[in-house]
Amino acid sequence: MKDVAIVGVGQTAFVRGYEGSIRELAFDAFKEAMLDAGLTSKEIDASIICSAPEYDKQRTPAGTIAEYLGLNPKPTFYIETVCSSSSSGLRVAYSLIKSGLHRIVLVLGFQKMSEISSADSQERMGRGSDVMWEAPFGTMMPAYYAMHARAHFQRYGTSSEDLALIRVKAGTYGMINKKAVYQKGVTLEQIMTADVVSSPLKRFDCCANADGASCMIVADKEMVKSISKKPVWILGLGAGTAPITMSGRESLTGLNCARVAAKEAYRMAGVTPQDIDVAEVHDCFTIAELMAYEDLGFAEPGEGKALIRGKETYIEGKIPINVDGGLLSKGHPIGATGGSQIRTIVLQLRGEADQMQVKNPEIGLVHNIGGVGVYGNVTVLGRD
């Protein structure tokens, strides 16, 4: 299965108000990835640009960014699956390489969310649901995930304190991640006494919007031989979708798109949940991380809370998860998020994660969700 590898990764710091343009933001991540891979623009066969529309004025950002990065006249493509856009971009890059159309593909995700107000941003996020049957009634992301939390609480006896423990962990590792928006810890008491956003979710249960970019360079196995001494191989790719309306879901205690994607990725990679040494999961809200524990098979349904209570998802635990602080500390620049998660796992497998390094991982996993569980991507990566 070792046919396609990631040979370079890059990421900007995630910030609350980037002062430059989207092309400058993209360049910062691009430069880091290209230096990491030791390549030049002329060696890139194709590029895939990933973001969610309507956060900036540029109608076709792929063309703008490809030109600025010196990637013309090679083809460029624009991919959008909301928050999972850049992990979808990696799936497309893998397909382009496996088909033989291209040998080295660049995947770049970005978002500059500070160009619009928080109110406008929330309204756009709300339109990620059905604009006929849900969005007109004022639905927003915190309210959707609050529904998931209430369902999980009712069925499995999960508590607000269980969710707060996830946020404590996020802060623990956010403090040592120089590219995170929030580089400070938060206590259990602070979390539990914070203002309610959408009951039972409080302020610290929610991630923050951010500006940022991430970049991955993907190559076929023949090119890898001449490019990289530490390739990270794409072992498994899984994807799933769910009804966009909440009323179309069978259950609210988990995300079926993630379960489908995980099953497919594990099968393709020839591994089980027990084989995963380190993982990044989409923790846009604390309940999202808890559900991911169960959707990915790290815990049985309803038992995810035992993992965080026992600190099993810390670096020294049996399944380290989001030891870069996750979205809760890093921030969530929509189009860049999946690429940032993938970069973290690449660095882990290369032994280059500094203070966040897990001991000798061989197989890593990335779980990236778009919308409120509409799109689910799971990627399994391995080292030589």
Is 83 among the catalytic positions? yes
Residue 94 makes CB contacts below 8 A (sequence gap 6+) with 4, 218, 234, 237
CA distance 170 to 290: 13
Give the whole-angstrom CA distance, residue 380 versus residue 291: 19
Instruction: Catalytic residue, from 83, 206, 207, 257: name it.
Output: 83
Among candidate residues 163, 157, 145, 334, the one with its CA nearest the CA of residue 246: 145
Task: Note if 207 is an active site residue.
Answer: no
- Cis bond leading into 200, ω under 30°? yes
d(CA 104, CA 199): 47
Catalytic residue among 102, 148, 282, 332: 332
Active site amino acids = 83, 332
